[in-house]
Structure 1
């Protein structure tokens, strides 16, 4: 197990380097003068030249790249052009809100998706099966921004049952609409995948053997079928967790949620290049960590899987 984790971490190094390099090149070729963005149109040439020198923008592009890699190796992602805040500090401040939102959205999606998938597979071609799969297809097809705006319109502005936008730590009412909005699509994906995997597993010989031995149907489904059907489900759950943690850009923007996704949107609007680079690199690391956790979890779900 340890050697496998080490290998995966070593494989991640060139991936991170590739992401860092691409992001740096894109930010370097994007039109616009960061010094002019910081000072506005009132900046005099001497001040602009001094700011460019402080930021290292007067250096050749290859020296800027080497300087950027050295700073990154020290955990320094630069300073925001917009508010002179360290990018790392901004990411750590916003990540807590995004983590809470993604955690509860994934819990909701996993519970609803797995339960709906199991019941649909056990009661194949029933009214519940048709209804659940229709809702799942609708959830996959509906854009996130449409779901969020619809929930706001109904529950916040029409019925006045739930606060519309904003974030108040400790007040669960502000979590309801963003969590539902963010959890709709992964719940639909998990439901459809769980159903298809369960239907495939339920036709295997060992399931028929378990039933022939007189085991209760619940034991057959939960103890034998579900455990073997969870490998693909865990894969999609891990991928969706990475998607949620890496920003939930639309959801956070709609509900004015102070997370990493909204920070990325604000940075793009303000052309804050260090913040854009930082958020992209941060999202890439989140994806790699989530995939590593998913790979490791396979061995705990199915003991037949080895990492040697």
Structure 2
């Protein structure tokens, strides 16, 4: 196991640098000049622009900028400074990430509990009424765009029923994050339910399940130990990759509910051409993806005893 973890950690190094380099090149290929944007329509003299570009290192070749940027991150944990506000990017990320982390955690718990619950019910009753209802419900969620679902939740539960506040306050209470978490995790919930249902229904017909039933094992052990463990492998794979997606893909949801998190930070940084901020946020998200992928691989051996790591 230790050798496998070490090998996976070594494999993460080229993935990390390759992904961050790609994001760096994409961000800095966007049109516009962040330094010129500081002065708006008024503009300024070329000497001042050249001085500021040199101060922020924007006059260097793109690869040299990337090497210097990654060196500052790895050696000094310095993500740079925002051009417009002058704030340290680590401070900006530190303000946004805890909010999105709580939102993503709540959405993850919702999709985990409801998605697995609906999937298990549908899988154990494949072809019956409960199965058909779950399939119709999840298909409806998948068919509705996220921004439409968000507007429906706000209109029904805020404007008409008054159960929730229309916007999340600056305190970002857990109760205020419940509505955006439902919107954020709805699509993943539907996929988890369908994936669980398919895996459960397939394994329910497997030989080892019929053998366990023939041996007289109680249904609670057959379903809870044998069937669930083998059926969870594809679901765990999806959930592991979805953690990073929940944190980085909340732009629409955070905008609808006025959540000051990573999604809004990425959107504002792209609009303002704050390339350093975008790359800094994405770098942290890449690390989240890599760690989640490693944990998923290690969980395979726990779920399926046939899997062993040399």
Is the pair's TM-score, using the shorter chain for normalization, greater than 0.5? yes
Contact 1:167–1:258 (CA under 8 A) maintained in structure 2: no
- In the alignment, is the contact (CA less than 8 A) between 2:25 and 2:62 conserved in 1? no
Alignment CA distance shift 1:36-1:230 (3 Å): same
> d(CA) in 1 for partners of 2:238 and 2:28?
35
Structure 2 match to 1:51: 52
Please give the TM-score of this superposition, normalised by the length of structure 2: 0.93
Aligned to 2:68: 67
Structure 1 equivalent of residue 272 of structure 2: 270
1-side partners of 2:237 and 2:295: how far apart? Answer: 10
How far apart, CA to CA, are the structure 2 residues paired with 1:93 and 1:170?
12
Deviations 1:39-96 (A, max 9, x none): 3334333332221221122334443333223223232222112211122221122111
Matched residue SS, 1:179: helix
- How many equivalent residue pairs? 308
Cα distance in 1, alignment partners of residues 240 and 169 from structure 2: 26
Aligned with residue 157 of structure 1, among 156, 159, 162: 159
Distance 2:25 2:236 in 1: 35
Instruction: State TM-score, norm by structure 1.
Output: 0.93
Distance of 2:127 and 2:29 partners within structure 1: 55
Which residue is 1:30 aligned to?
A: 30
Summarize deviations over 1:174-218 as a string: whole Å, max 9, x none: 122111101111111111111111111111222112222323323
Shift of 1:259: 1.1
Determine if contact 1:178/1:255 at 8 Å carries over to the other structure: yes
Distance in 2 (alpha carbons) for counterparts of 1:136 and 1:213? 36
Partner of 1:7: helix, strand, or coil? helix
Of 271, 294, 297, the match for 2:296? 294
Hey, what does 2:4 align to over in structure 1?
Answer: 4
- 2:134 equivalent in structure 1: 132
- Structure 2 counterpart of 1:261: 263
Query: Cα distance 1:233–1:63, how it changes in 2: closer, same or farther (>3 A)?
Result: closer
Alignment partner of 1:34: what SS?
coil
Match of 1:221 in 2: 223
Segments of 5+ residues of structure 1 without an aligned counterpart are none
**Which whole-Å CA distance do the structure 2 matches of 1:172 and 1:25 have between them?**
37
Correspondence for 1:284 among 283, 286, 294: 286
Contact 1:194–1:230, Cα closer than 8 Å, also in 2:
yes
Structure 2 unpaired stretches of 5+? none
What value does the CA root-mean-square deviation take over the aligned residues?
Answer: 1.8
* Secondary structure of 2:35 counterpart: helix
Quick one: distance in 2 between partners of 1:242 and 1:284? 8
- Contact preservation (8 Å) 1:95, 1:259: yes
* Equivalent-residue separation in structure 2 for 1:66 and 1:112 (angstroms): 45
Is contact 1:114-1:191 (8 Å) kept?
A: yes
Shift of the 215–29 alpha-carbon distance from structure 1 to 2, 3 Å rule, reads closer
